[in-house]
Homo-oligomer: A and B are copies of this chain.
């Protein structure tokens, strides 16, 4: 069964453009380099300081590979300067 993640990210007010630019780069890297990733998409919410990332991986190993990837570490590190606290993660398991 596939592993799903809903990540809720709170950013510092006014950092939207910078956050979206970094995340667009991260999305592109995930999609290009992770064969075990099924979906990875960042969304705006009704709260302009909160974003939601929908993620799905083929299995736990694919999710572990995401977290260990060079692109996640290097691009993810850039997010530190625009985030307000740690992401809130909800872990899910696909029905199929």
A residues sitting closer than 8 Å to B (CB atoms) are 2, 4, 6, 20, 23-24, 27, 38-39, 41-46, 51-52, 54, 56, 90-96
Contact = CB atoms under 8 A, between A and B. Distances in A.
Number of copies of this kind of chain in the complex:
2
A56 B41 contact: yes
Chain A interface, >50% SS class: strand
A45 B95 contact: no
Nearest to A39: B39
A61 B42 CA distance: 20
A54 B39 contact: yes
- Choose among A23, A27, A43 the residue with the greatest number of B CB atoms under 10 Å from its CB: A43
Nearest to A24: B96
